[in-house]
Structure 1
Amino acid sequence: MWIKQLKIKGMTCPSCAEGIEKKLNTLKGVEIKVCYPEGNGVLTVKGDTRLKSLIAKIEDKGYQVTEMDQKQANTDKSTLSAANNGQQLHVAIIGTGSGAFAGALRAVENGARVTLIERKPIIGGTCVNIGCVPSKIMIRAAHIAHLQQHHAFDGIKKHKPVIDRHQLLAQQRARVNELRAAKYENILESNPEISLVKGDARFKDANTLIVDQEHGNFTEIKADRFLIATGASASIPPIPGLAETPYWTSTEALEAEVLPESLCVIGSSIVALELAQAYLRLGTKVTLLARHSLLFNEDPEIGSELHKILEAEGMTILDHTQAQAISYQKGLLSSGKFTINTTQGQTLICDQLLIATGRPPNTGSLGLEKAGVVMDSDGAISVDDHMRTNIEHIYAAGDCSNQPQFVYVAAAAGTRAAINMTGGDAAINLSAMPAVMFTEPQMATVGLTEAEAQHNNIKTDTRLLPLENVPRALANFETRGFVKLVIEESSRRLIGAQILAPEAGEMIQTAVLAIHNQMTIEDLAGQLFPYLTMVEGIKLCAQTFNKDVKELSCCAG
């Protein structure tokens, strides 16, 4: 009998470890126990099975495997322990969303023990429970409903969709529960180095948390490092009368069991537009109030074009309009009505009202002043590119910090914060950060807009290619939108991309990698792109810097 310790790279979840065990433990005389958080496996073999053949079986599943000697096996944990006076490092994390879990897993992998603190009944944070996942399910359902009565193909009969909101909601909830279990609850249960404490956490001082729990109980938690990953919540504007009405935030809009006949939406950014279009396509009459214009902080051509598209679908959009006062009258035999008086003198009446005016950070109840942690004027925790606050052992990641509010930024920040808390050195680079909005067409951006570049005294050159010049868009009979590229004039390097297209979210990563690798527009135009794909639009737009693409044949390189 022999025993070997293996280092296994490439695992992404506990199921990966289970898959390796399942594959090898069916072999006679072979037993392997794999620890996903540590990235290690202990292999015990009775008989003459060769180590090389077993490693090959693991590598067949796409992992990288190396044999460890005893010194290597103990290096990470012993180093961390020595740096902490021989004690296992204790990391306390406030929150259980993507940033919190990413940080917890990496901290445990690096030898720490972790305590998670969560104030809500369920774990997982915004994205899986009340954000990204349920909203994309609803948006997809609305897309299918829209296609049934609005498509471009002559030989397919159009008809009004029959929508059962209860069935849609049940399916949505089931998928949310499934993903929460797979990506959060099961990971927590399978990892003995991560414990969960329920309650509201607040700092007693820079080294101690008080967790207020049910029935007046509380727990004190002392730790060596702290990661604040408490996310953000819907902003409620101080409109007279609003607080006394049963308005929705995005949470209630995603969980509504009945589709209202009419809906007013206050807001004009990503959440507002995604949900407004989804309800419109599910049969609700939608009126949207925009304080400025749509997507005011993006390239103006995106907002202008999307405004036309949404109005053509039937949405009423009131630019430069705010609610002055709001009231609600209960109905005797039916649902009540909202009355909205606007700054433009209109009186709007609707069955339901959605407030989607931003998401401020959840920091107000944390007692950060007692720990000495600095926040900006909006209540966001100020961090550097290593996720460090001004207090050396306190870190923050995700929507509660001054970083962009995207779940993938939160996860990346949580991982890097954990590396830094356990003695490593990892920075986050947001210079080529993609952003996507899942309206139809989708909006996707990366890098600088033309205006932002000029504000930074960068001389630019730009091109905008309407989708009518992209063969796949023509084949789909869907040419609404465009691709816009921004380059630095002197170096010819790509520095920004703005896309409005049905598959913009799938296209944008090409521009992300081009910017990250400092490609010139000629480099990009010279790459091979598969024909009759939407992403070919990026190549075609790149080619317009030097030629007229209308004069090119199909697939012209």
Structure 2
Amino acid sequence: MSNKLQVRLAVRGMTCTDCEEHVKKALHSAGAEKISVNFRRGEATFEISDASGIEAAKRAVADSGYEPSNAEILHPLRSDSTFHRTSGDDYDLLIIGSGGAAFSAAIEAVSRGAKVGMIERGTIGGTCVNTGCVPSKTMLRASEIHHLAAQHPFPGLETSAGPVNLHQLVGAKDELVAELRQHKYIDLIDEYGFDLIRGEARFADPSTIAVAGRMIRAGRYLVATGASPAVPDIPGLADVDYLVSTAALELTEVPQRLAVIGSGYIGMELGQMFHRLGSEVTLMQRSGRLLRAYEPEVSEAVSLALAFEGIHILTGVTYERVEQHGDLKRIYITVDGQQRVVEADALLVATGRTPNTAALNLEAAQVRVGSRGEVLVNEYLQTSNPNVYAAGDVTLGPQFVYVAAYEGAIAAENALSGERRKVDLSVVPAVTFTSPSIATVGMTEARARSKGYEVITSVLPLDAVPRALVNHDTAGVIKLVADGRSRKLLGVHVVADNAGDVIYAGVLAVKFGLTIEDLTSTLAPYLTMAEGLKLAALTFDRDVAKLSCCAG
């Protein structure tokens, strides 16, 4: 085994593969070996003879025009393998769950030569493909088409929308889900050659799992069991036939009236979907406004858009009790000190998610959990049991499949290699697929101020964006948050058609520290929604309403 230090060095200022080569050359000149540089991660890993060599490497990188920062000494890797296989273990890595985090971890582990097992008690593929992203987004698209056919903003076009055959729509959705589950999950099991074990996993002790009558031991474990819809403690709710998101997507008839408890992204998406398919929808929210953690301008724009469509929005709600009379549901609430009753034919509960940990017997594994049952992990995704890692929704981090997949790969790498790669969730985009859609990345204005930044902001209404004007759809806003000293972008917040596609440019701007001038000096294609980012950047210093249509 090598006695040299293995180092990970954060490097700012890299923007392309040429930058990688420049940094690699600089590190080589300082005596570094086995150099790997990744401009996307903003880091370089290498071996160096001793601690003094790290400072020499930093100076070489700085002399080449880049900004070295934190240097982390990694645990040395074995020369013969990236993991240590203990005699008698059935697997090098045993994964509980089969969703995005689990499959990402399995693929990473197999690529390192590890023997991998995966335990699944139910349907393979996890939430996203089966009951979350895929089924909801295809149904949202169907509802959007139905809505536009019934009413659109273009004079001279005669379109109409007939009755909705929800049974047929759900059937097509189920076919799509089955196809993607097969191709993106089930087929990969044989492709990568790991074992699938059916059954309920339960820790028997810190190093053994009981499943399907077997006792299985592994060198490392990954808990990637995801989360399920949470149900609030409201008197009478347990005695009512309520829906959660999973069941709502299986309905075969459109309810005449739908009430939604909770107005986060799930409640808003499914509420608007059913409204556009023909339901009278009431959204109810405990907080004083929708999207209370978002920018006020975002909250206002979304609330106005949903209300304009005819969706009833109640905020500042206190839930007193719920009753059912035949098929009729009655929700007794208090709003602004006034008692009200909301009646509905269907009741959707969309109040967040709870981690799937109850059946795992984590206490026997010496794995600590939080107040909501979430698995507690450190910045390397390691639990209180050093041989057990956790990734994805079960940790109650950002509830996105791309975050779960990212974490799954890091957890497998750390578990098997002895490295200590930190999870970086400082720049995570979030998208809500309402219409207009909502996309955000980075800090809000309030968050930036609390972090001590001298904040400047730009707020651009969508009627200043040419693409929105030609679409005859100006509901929305773009808000940029920047550091007044460096003028670097700290946050990007968009409410607009296709905001989810626009936000990736915002992700790059925030992650790589682009300035207002970086955006304003870049050519943006005219008549795209992405042009709105440049116009919003121009708005920091000028009135874009006084520019010609494409002068931005």
CA deviation string 1:373-412 (max 9, x = no partner): 1222222112223211122211100000142111110000
User: Structure 2: how far apart are the matches of 1:124 and 1:144?
Assistant: 28
Query: 2: CA distance between counterparts of 1:468 and 1:82?
Result: 60
Q: Does 1:534 align with 2:529?
A: yes
Q: How many Å apart are 1:241 and its aligned residue?
A: 1.1
Residues 1:545 and 2:536 are matched in the alignment: no
Q: Cα RMSD (Å) of the superposition?
A: 1.8
Partner of 2:430: 435
Shift, 1:189, TM fit: 3.0
TM-score, normalised with respect to structure 1: 0.82
Structure-to-structure mapping, 1:42-61, within 5 angstroms: none
1:250, CA displacement in angstroms?
Answer: 0.1
SS at match of 2:317: coil
Q: Structure 2 regions of 5+ residues with no counterpart?
A: 1-76
Q: Alpha-carbon deviations, 1:95-132, whole Å to 9, x = none?
A: 00010010011101111111111111x20010000000
2:153 aligned residue: 152
Query: Which letter does structure 1 place at the counterpart of 2:329?
Result: F
CA distance, structure 1, for counterparts of residue 299 and residue 539 of structure 2? 23
- Alignment check: 8 A CA contact 2:285 2:317 kept: yes
Find the counterpart in structure 2 of residue 316 from structure 1: 312
Residue 302 of structure 2 is matched in structure 1 by 306
1:400 aligns with 2:394: yes
| CA spacing shift, 1:81–1:353, aligned 2, 3 Å | closer
Going from structure 1 to structure 2, the CA distance change for 1:499 and 1:85 (only over 3 Å counts) comes to same
**1: distance between equivalents of 2:479 and 2:136?**
27
Q: Distance in 1 between matches of 2:91 and 2:345?
A: 54
For the structure 1 residues 438 and 76, does the alpha-carbon distance in structure 2 shift closer, same or farther, using more than 3 Å as the test? farther
C-alpha contact (below 8 Å) 2:89/2:217 kept by paired residues: no
Secondary structure at the aligned position of 2:422 is classed as: coil
CA distance in 2, matches of 1:296, 1:314: 21
SS in 2 for 1:301: helix
Matched, 1:482 2:484: no
Q: Residue 512 of structure 1 aligns with which residue?
A: 507
What is the aligned partner in structure 2 of residue 44 from structure 1?
A: none
Q: Which residue of 2 aligns with 1:379?
A: 373
Q: Could you say what secondary structure the match of 2:243 adopts? A: coil
Match in the other structure for 1:368? 362
The residue that corresponds to 1:98 in the other structure is 100
Mean Cα deviation higher: 337-346 or 434-443: 337-346
| Amino acid corresponding to residue 277 of structure 1 in structure 2 | Q
* 1:100-115 superposed matches below 5 A: 100-115=102-117
Change (3 A) 1:88 1:152: same
- In the other structure, the counterpart of 1:71 is none
Q: CA deviation at 1:521?
A: 1.0
How far did 1:204 drift?
A: 1.4
In the aligned structure 1, how far is the partner of 2:78 from the partner of 2:146?
A: 53
| Shift in CA distance, 173/544, structure 1 to aligned 2, threshold 3 Å | same
With 314-323 and 493-502 compared, the bigger mean Cα shift is at: 314-323
Distance in 2 separating the partners of 1:525 and 1:161 = 46
1:352: Cα distance to partner? Answer: 0.3
C-alpha contact (below 8 Å) 1:76/1:110 kept by paired residues? no
Unaligned residue ranges in structure 1 (runs of 5+):
1-74, 331-335
- Find the residue that maps to 1:137 and give its secondary structure: helix
Q: CA deviation at 1:223?
A: 0.4
The 8 Å contact of residues 334 and 340 in structure 2, kept in 1 or not, is answered as yes
Asked whether the 8 Å contact 1:81–1:89 carries over to 2, the reply is: no
**Alignment match, 1:351:** 345
Structure 2: how far apart are the matches of 1:341 and 1:261? 19
Query: What is the Cα deviation at residue 366 of structure 1?
Result: 1.4
Q: Which residue of 2 aligns with 1:210?
A: 210
CA–CA separation in structure 2 for the residues paired with 1:324 and 1:304: 27
TM-score w.r.t. length of structure 2: 0.83
Counterpart secondary structure, 1:303: helix
Residues 1:362 and 1:88: Cα distance change in structure 2 (over 3 Å): closer
Matched, 1:232 2:234: no
1:10-25 map, 5 Å? none
> Does residue 1:500 correspond to 2:495, yes or no?
yes
Q: Could you say if the C-alpha distance between residues 543 and 124 of structure 1 is closer, same or farther in structure 2, counting changes exceeding 3 Å?
A: same
Asked whether the equivalents of residues 83 and 416 of structure 2 are also in contact (C-alpha less than 8 Å), the reply is no
Partner Cα separation in structure 2 for residue 185 and residue 82 of structure 1: 28
Cα 1:522–1:88 shift into 2, 3 Å: farther
Question: Is 2:221–2:387's contact at 8 Å kept on the other side of the alignment?
Answer: yes
- 2:72 — aligned with what? none
Which stretches of structure 1, 4 residues or more, deviate above 3 A after TM superposition? 75-78, 80-89
SS class of match (1:465) = strand
Counting only pairs closer than 5 Å after superposition, residues 77-88 of structure 1 correspond to structure 2 as 78-80=80-82
Aligned mate of 1:294, from 283, 287, 290: 290
Superposed CA deviations along residues 263-304 of structure 1, whole A, max 9, x for unmatched, are 000001100000000000000010111111211121122122
- TM superposition shift of 1:528: 1.5
Deviation of the 1:80 alpha carbon: 3.2
The percentage of counterpart residues that share the same residue type is 44
Are 2:453 and 1:458 equivalent residues in the alignment?
A: yes
Match of 1:337 in 2: 328
Q: Residue type of the partner of 1:447? A: G
CA distance in structure 1 between the aligned counterparts of 2:232 and 2:221, rounded to whole angstroms: 32
1:415-436 Cα deviation digits (max 9, x unpaired): 1111111204433221111000
- Between the aligned partners of 1:532 and 1:384, the Cα distance in structure 2 is 45
CA distance in 2, matches of 1:180, 1:160: 32
Q: Which amino acid aligns with 1:161?
A: G
Secondary structure of the equivalent of 1:346?
Answer: strand
Q: Which moved more, 1:417-426 or 1:309-318?
A: 417-426
Are the equivalent residues in 2 in contact too, given 1:80–1:88 (CA < 8 A)?
A: no
For 1:135, the equivalent position in structure 2 comes to 136
Deviations 1:50-90 (A, max 9, x none): xxxxxxxxxxxxxxxxxxxxxxxxx9994236675798961
| Structure 2 CA distance for partners of 1:355 and 1:260, relative to 1, 3 Å | same
Tell me what 2:163 maps to: 162
The question of whether the paired residues in 1 share the 8 Å contact of 2:90 and 2:216 is answered with no
Match of 1:48 in 2: none
232-241 vs 272-281, which moves further: 232-241
Give 1:251's aligned residue. 246
Which stretch shows the higher mean deviation, 235-244 or 422-431? 422-431
